[in-house]
Structure 1
Amino acid sequence: MKAIVQDGYGSPEVLRLDEVDRPVPGRGEVLVRVHAAAVDQGVWHLMAGLPHALRLVFGLRAPRVRIPGMDLAGRVEAVGPDVTRVRPGDEVYGSCKGSFAEYAIAEEDALAPKPARLGFEEAATVPVSAVTALKALRDAGRVRDGQSVLVLGASGGVGTYAVQLAKAFGAHVTGVCSTAKTDLVRSIGADEAVDYTRGDPVDGSRRYDLIIDIAGNRPLSRLRRALSARGTLVIVGGEEGGRWIGGNQRQLAALLLSPFVGHRLVPLTVMKQHRSDLEALTELIEAGTVTPVVDRTYPLAEVPDAIRHLRGGQVRGKIAIRL
């Protein structure tokens, strides 16, 4: 089968299209014929091996999993022993290790029936980013009806889902983005869109019950200025910092500081995808409450170009990969 592979860490040039053996599902596993995948910042981090702390988990000199990619949408080709919820021919979406390939292996619990309302390319942009947004709001943020929510990074992959989900939970949503993307953020339901190039959205002039900071770099002290007295800050990743731990130093600081202040400071940790989360999202998607925002689609052979486009900072929503 055709797949994108990498045998070392580095720039997009380490990725190449190659022929590899088709995998065989084991116990509790499903073989999916991949029709679409997606690109996000996590794919770039694992490609580049940055921050270096990632290599302690994913491989010191080269990634243990040669095929990158986490999101997928496709049809079940075969199932392993003890798989009971899906069967060959089912259209599914979810997450796995190695979705930039014609076939991929996923755990049964990481898949759900594909929303009928979505095509494969739209569906593939949902699992990682939308589940992250759901976890940030519902689980870490404990969002409630009537609260005020600030989404920093509202025009990106996680951010576009966070805006829509916060509205679905009944919040008043303010989305922060660049000048060119304010129209997008309003169009997906934000009550207000704030252009960060024209002022500091966390200068303390307004207070929010919940702040979702997606891949940001603002110090905790500045973010706390914009929280209400008992407000919650959820930190979803970080894109700056040293090469060893990257932006994760803010998450570590939040863990240490939170017990001693009135605010809840919650780092969103890496989590597995679960079928129940995908099913909750499917219900909202089928109702038309949540809609994927797809910036553009690339064929499998052009995954390196897709990652370059992502890192250029102009992406609105998500990038899909077509197979």
Structure 2
Amino acid sequence: MKAAIYKTYGSPEVMEIGDVDKPFIKDEDRVLIKVVSASVNQYDHLFRKGYFPTRLENGLTKPKVQVLGIDVSGIVEAVGRNVQKFKIGDHVFGSCVGSHAEYVCPRQNVLTIMPNNLTFEEAAAIPCAAQTALQALRDVGNIKAGDTVLIYGASGGVGHFAVQLAVYLGAEVTAVCSTSNVEWVKNLGAHHVIDYTQEDFAHNGKKYDVILDAVGKRTFFSCLRSLTENGIYITEHALYPKYHPIQLMIGSFIGSKKPKIHLAKPNDSDLDILRVLMEKEIVRPVIEKCFPLNEIVEAHRHVESGRTKGKVVLKIE
């Protein structure tokens, strides 16, 4: 089968289209999916670039797993003997490593049925980014109605879902983005929008119960004065050098304000929650660009720029 592969770490140009073995069902709880769409995430950029923490998992000198991608939407072609939730022909979406390929074979507990009002491209934009935002706000930030929440990087993949989910959870939401995205982010439901090119939220005297840095641009200490007495700072980008664990460890012992690292835990329960929210049009994915698989280099370049508006999606089929 065709897949986007990388045999060495480096710039987007290390990506190429090649032939790899088609997966098959070895475990009884797996599902074989013909991939229609997948998205490109910061995860893909970090692993392809070879940031040191990722090399500990994927090989110090060259990648052991050479097909990237962690989001998928597609059509079920076969199911394991213990799979009861899905049948051949179902349209599904979810999480799995290696989705930048024509077929994947994930476990059933990281998949669910696609929202009935979304395209394959829209469904592929959801899993990683939306689960990341949901779990960060609900489980790490423990936000409740009336809390004040600031989303830094509100126009990005995780950020645009975080704005919508924080509003749904009842928070008063302040979004931070660039000038060109201010009106768009307002339309996502944010109560207040700060243009970071005009104002640094850390110096306006306002305080927030939760600050979610969705793009890896702010540190805990730069946000300290903007947190309430028991406020929580959450970063999704612990792999970047500025988020060295020592800094977060030190921060954990300073007063009652706490820094938290969060990495998404894919599961079908949260995907089912998101599916319902999508079908009720409470939350919606926004896709900035779709690339065919053979333009994988351009897709990586765009994500690496750090200026995506919503999600970047690959059309595999």
* Interval of TM-score (by shorter of Structure 1 and Structure 2): over 0.9
Q: Which residues of structure 2 form unaligned runs of 5+?
A: none
Please, what TM-score do these two structures have when normalized by structure 1? 0.94
CA distance in 1, matches of 2:127, 2:265: 11
Q: How many correspondences in the alignment? A: 315
TM-superposed CA distance for 1:239, in Å, is 7.6
Shift of 1:310: 1.6
Alpha-carbon RMSD? 1.5
Query: Using the alignment, how far apart are the partners of 1:255 and 1:134 within structure 2?
Result: 24
The aligned runs of 1:1-323 (5 Å cut-off) are: 1-27=1-27, 28-50=29-51, 52-203=52-203, 205-237=205-237, 246-249=241-244, 251-268=245-262, 270-323=263-316
CA distance in 1, matches of 2:204, 2:198: 15
Q: Distance in 1 between matches of 2:288 and 2:59?
A: 31
Q: Distance in 2 between matches of 1:73 and 1:93?
A: 4
Deviates more, 1:191-200 or 1:58-67: 58-67
Kindly state the Cα deviation for residue 117 of structure 1 after the two structures are TM-superposed: 1.1
- SS of residue paired to 1:142: coil
Which secondary structure state, in structure 2, belongs to the residue aligned with residue 89 of structure 1?
Answer: coil
The C-alpha deviation readout for 1:219-240, integer Å capped at 9, x for no partner, is 3222011011121111121585
Listed one character per residue, the Cα deviations across residues 170-207 of structure 1 (whole Å, up to 9, x for unaligned) are 11111001111111211111111100111211125101
Could you tell me which runs of 5 or more consecutive residues in structure 1 were left unpaired when the two chains were aligned. Answer: 241-245
Matched-pair contact (CA < 8 Å) for 2:30–2:108: yes
**Would the aligned equivalents of 1:38 and 1:71 in 2 still touch at CA under 8 Å?**
yes
Contact 1:217/1:238 (CA < 8 Å) preserved in 2?
no
* Deviations 1:42-96, CA, capped at 9 Å, x for gaps: 111111111x121011122222212111100001111223222212111110011
CA distance in 2, matches of 1:137, 1:273: 15
CA–CA distance in structure 1, aligned partners of residues 173 and 82 of structure 2 = 43
Shift in CA distance, 144/209, structure 1 to aligned 2, threshold 3 Å? same
Contact 2:131 2:264 in 1 (8 A): no
2-structure distance, mates of 1:20, 1:219: 40
| CA positional deviation for 1:253 | 2.3
TM-score by length of 2: 0.95
1:271 shift after superposition: 3.9
Q: 2-side partners of 1:239 and 1:179: how far apart?
A: 28
Q: Secondary structure at the match of 2:105?
A: strand
**1-side partners of 2:45 and 2:219: how far apart?**
24
